[in-house]
Structure 1
Amino acid sequence: MISFVQVLDFIGTFAFAISGIRLASAKRFDWFGAYIVGLATAIGGGTLRDVMLNVTPVWMTDPIYLICTAFAMFFVIIFGKYLIHLNNTFFFFDSIGLALFTVVGFDKTIALGFPFWVAIIMGSVTGAAGGVIRDVFINEIPLIFRKEIYAMACVIGGLFYWICLQMGLEAYLSQIIGFVTVLVVRILAVKYQITLPILKGDPANGQKKE
């Protein structure tokens, strides 16, 4: 029987794949290139997480992730014209994937017996690393390195998830609260342009002297 976390994982895979394919289409990638970008976005964070947790990456044991990405590809091909005209399409799917994968990464790490601070880090890796790989593939500065609150939303969501577990809430309620927290933090940060402080330095120090 499929668990609630698996459902979140599949939906997150679909959402993240669409975000990657959507950006690849804007860069005029061909179908195969767009699929690779979508796949890397969908499985990149989970693969990095599993390698660090010393377990086999999930997509190597279950083809559903490749299939989900294929469905995302067809979705973008069929509804591409509508998606292009919706300026918030990328933000919507990226935020959904970010929130869902944070919960999935946190839950898997806890299930393997790691402490909560490791789970928060792994949740953040699961949520944010795929987006980093996507942005590198399409030659953009990764969102995690910009002023926008991105990975920090994962950290906050992970903390709320853990607090809910400590309060004795049911696992699925804790997962929903963690998901909603990441999503709300991400949306509010973008809407009200809330950013982290910028580390200032002397740009001249990074330039070569003639």
Structure 2
Amino acid sequence: MIEQSSRQATIAAPPRPQTVHTLLTPCLDLSCAATVAGSVRCWFVDPQPGNSYTGAMTPFQSQAVAAKFASYPPEAREALLALREIAWETARSMPEVGGIEETLKWGEPAYGTKSKVGSTVRMDWKTRAPGSYALYFNCQTDLVETFRTLFPNDFVFEGNRALVFRLGETIPADSVAFCMAAAFSYHLNKKKQRSSAPRRSGR
């Protein structure tokens, strides 16, 4: 749960996994016997040397999303998989939002709340900027403006819609988790703010 007052905000950070695993690439065959309830649970080890992923992999929910991640260059894929796992861990720490679902939106991996109480988060790497990747938020919200105030030194900002990361640099996981939590509870928090605002008495 997020509490904001005078642009101050706190969030209980999701548990940080400690185990380092070899980076896994999803098996894209959804007819595979290892596939359960429509989630991709079959994996093979990425043969690229030096690839690693911190934490257990959350299974993909669709072949389209799995294929999108498989299409990224190895370094970009590793970084985006780390962002993806932060999204899942953050959502699991927020039962009040009712869980998230993973889809492609505008061709990019997207994470939105099933209950529609949040604002969708997207992530992507693009060939026109091969040295970086980004986490995208709805530009019609004040989310990125808030992040710019709270975390001026943690991110590179792209207008009012994105946090930009450089490949090879450490992801500020706790700050990213806060930003994702703010998005996943965006409409819920706005509703709470409206209901708690003092009412003007009529004459």
Fold-level match, TM-score > 0.5?
A: no
Question: TM-score normalised to the size of structure 1?
Answer: 0.26
Higher relative contact order (CA 8 A, sep 6+): 1
The structure in which a higher percent of residues are strand is 2
